[in-house]
Amino acid sequence: MISKDSLKYEAVPLIGRNPLSDADSLAAASSFLETIKTRHTVRDFASTPVPQNVIETCIAAAGRAPSGANHQPWHFVAVANADLKRRIRQAAEQEERNFYGGSAGDEWIKALEPIGTGPDKPHLETAPWLIIVFAQRWGEFDNGSRYKNYYVPESVGLATGFLITALHMAGLSSLIHTPNPMKFLNQLLNRPASEKPVMIIAAGHAGKNATIPKAATVKKPLDQILTVQV
């Protein structure tokens, strides 16, 4: 993506931003807050297909996230193939059995009890799409030589937040899954050693009888997550 002979600064006009009044700004922020309040992680997905172009558009939105030096150190693999989803589930559940079997430790397992999770991950097959997020630890110039990426975890985290929000705004539900280790994903998806798998996002429509943990509805109040200094 980056050419060595084009590494120079050039300013272009900012377009597409229309200033809002204070009242309209608050109204827009409040509307978004009410919308995002309805976003919940689900583990029960409907088999209803989701068009590929919807997923592609959500990932395109994720690609608009800010990143260190604008290197955009991410890659997304969208999987709808049933056999591949089954193999991802099998490999992920093996790691989950190790996790719940003792590698996590008692404190971590205890913390997960109100969420109701366990080693079985049927959603990895029932969700119509799995989106695997990879972090690119280094990049390559167009001549094949390497260059360093900067603030990779932070950049990928921002892009993932954009993606989860885009999925929600598209009327879809999602679930973040982070089996550990995840090196099996490089092999299954034929991704290079420069890329580190970060998470699997199951995406689709929530099942008709989908539920969420009551504990997940409890969010910290604003005064516990915000300090204002004026």
What's 76's domain CATH number?
3.40.109.10
Q: Measured at the alpha carbon of residue 199, what is the angle toward residues 66 and 221, in degrees to the nearest 5?
A: 70
Question: Could you tell me if residue 63 is inside a domain?
Answer: yes
Whole-angstrom distance, CA of residue 43 vs CA of residue 70: 34
At residue 47, the 3 state secondary structure works out as coil
Instruction: Provide the residue range defining the domain that includes 136.
Output: 41-225
pLDDT on residue 178:
92
Question: Could you tell me if residue 20 is inside a domain?
Answer: no
Question: Could you tell me if residue 36 is inside a domain?
Answer: no
Contact call for residues 29 and 191 (beta carbons, < 8 A): no
- Model confidence over 158-181: pLDDT tens digits? 999 999 999 999 999 999 999 888
**Exposed, middle or buried by CB within 10 Å (0-12, 13-18, 19+), for 181?**
exposed
- Regions in the chain scoring below 50 on pLDDT: none
pLDDT on residue 123:
95
pLDDT on residue 12:
93
For residue 144, the 8-state DSSP code is: S
pLDDT on residue 115:
86
Question: Could you tell me if residue 32 is inside a domain?
Answer: no
Question: Based on the structure, what is the number of domains in the chain?
Answer: 1
Smallest CA-to-CA distance from 150 within 10, 13, 6, 2 is with 2
Contacts of 173 (CB under 8 A, 6+ apart): 40, 41, 42, 45, 167, 203, 204, 205, 206, 210
This prediction has a pTM of 0.94
